[in-house]
Structure 1
């Protein structure tokens, strides 16, 4: 029988955040610790027997995309901290993380041994707007609320701003949740992204059918996008449909 131990719970203005220990995770037996939001979505996990191993598929795929397309990259800006998996992996890089919920950062330090002093508390778009033009190699958007990815991180104005912050080889990578077919929001996000970036690809984890919710990684780049399928942690390239272009509502920050 699976055993689940809750170590901590924090309630914020927007959601409940919990830390659990478990003897299995997504069908794998072992000793795991994970951070979970109130919608039951796992936002980060570690293997307590091998803490340096990256457990979840999506950060492994994102790391491969970054290293395959720009092995010598120096600067990364992340929106969304989780437990700090990717930021902690790149201790030798210039990494800046924007996280809107300070409780997430506190839990990552207390229970997941996050040690870097590079997290800024606040809205990711607003913080990113203060970065210098052409100064970043990568931007990662891995931000979730119970409604999904915040809309102001998926609009034409946002993607236009990110494109200006990236250098000539730069890319933006988004970790999303959606369906690969007939998903109006996923199609809209992808169609909006390609308005700002000359090259784009989408990747998804397999599902029981096309209507199943799953992780979808979308990358937009100023250069052609390469990858090796065997290193994509199970993600496969996916064709998303065309949708409407998303724009800011009046009063959007950043």
Structure 2
């Protein structure tokens, strides 16, 4: 795996699994910040999670901070969450008092989260997230979160009309689906298609984008959909700003 430009202090793990090229390493610089950090990375430059070794409870990345704000703002008394995509377990660890069921395709990712990132909850299930969600009871979850990536991005079957209909069935009254995606912002037809597809089923949808330096750069995008109006405070969105959607096509399986 290419770590060019990264100030590696120590590589703990590096392997190609059936699903990912995975590395765990310590570095003295992360996104321009000096310090001591441990990173879980998929493929080249695809950081999946990181921890500040000097302040382990600090949440480093903007997207989990934005998602946490949306969760706390839209259902303060929420209890049950279904999460597709484990990473190092940042959101589930933050809400340790809540009931999470986490679906992760790659068993190695779970092992690494326990060994190198101190994930200690017994709530991760190995398997396809969509298939595992199908087996859950209807109206069981206050939130369904999709945070799953492959080399090609978020799989189509996790952003299709059929999958969003499944999620709608599993959400409690007033529940929400939240997606963490990567895209090219206002010019990304796939992102607008995902928003259009969500609009077919949910009355309210908002998308937020984390601005970057170049218009062609991949940007972090968070989308939330619900049957109720969506509440948020811009100052707590960790730098994410609203993305004005354009009409797109409907994504089907």
Do Structure 1 and Structure 2 share a fold, with TM-score over 0.5? Answer: yes
Q: Deviations over 1:153-181 (max 9, x none)?
A: 00000001101110111000000000112
Structure 1: segments with no counterpart, 5+ residues: 249-254
TM-score, with normalisation over the residues of structure 1?
Answer: 0.95
TM-score, with normalisation over the residues of structure 2?
Answer: 0.95
Tell me if 1:33 matches 2:43.
Answer: no
CA distance, structure 1, for counterparts of residue 77 and residue 58 of structure 2: 22
2:208 to 203, 227, 230: 203
CA distance, structure 1, for counterparts of residue 109 and residue 214 of structure 2: 33
Residues 135 and 165 in structure 1, CA contact (< 8 A), matched pair in contact too: yes
Q: Deviations over 1:5-31 (max 9, x none)?
A: 321112211321000111111111111
CA distance, structure 2, for counterparts of residue 160 and residue 183 of structure 1: 23
Residues 9 and 18 in structure 1, CA contact (< 8 A), matched pair in contact too: yes
2:177 to 164, 172, 180: 172
Q: Deviations over 1:28-54 (max 9, x none)?
A: 111111100013210001000011111
Tell me if 1:101 matches 2:106.
Answer: yes
Provide the secondary structure at the position in 2 that maps to 1:181. helix
Match of 2:7 in 1: 3
Residues 172 and 219 in structure 1, CA contact (< 8 A), matched pair in contact too: yes
CA distance, structure 2, for counterparts of residue 241 and residue 34 of structure 1: 35
Give 1:211 deviation, angstroms: 3.0
CA distance, structure 2, for counterparts of residue 111 and residue 212 of structure 1: 30
CA distance, structure 2, for counterparts of residue 227 and residue 111 of structure 1: 33
Structure 2: segments with no counterpart, 5+ residues: none
Query: Cα RMSD (Å) of the superposition?
Result: 1.2
Alignment of 1:101-120 (within 5 A): 101-120=106-125
Residues 177 and 216 in structure 1, CA contact (< 8 A), matched pair in contact too: yes
2:228 to 211, 223, 229: 223
Q: How many pairs are equivalent?
A: 248
- Residues 141, 2 of structure 1: CA spacing in aligned structure 2 closer, same or farther, 3 A cutoff? closer
Alignment of 1:101-250 (within 5 A): 101-248=106-253
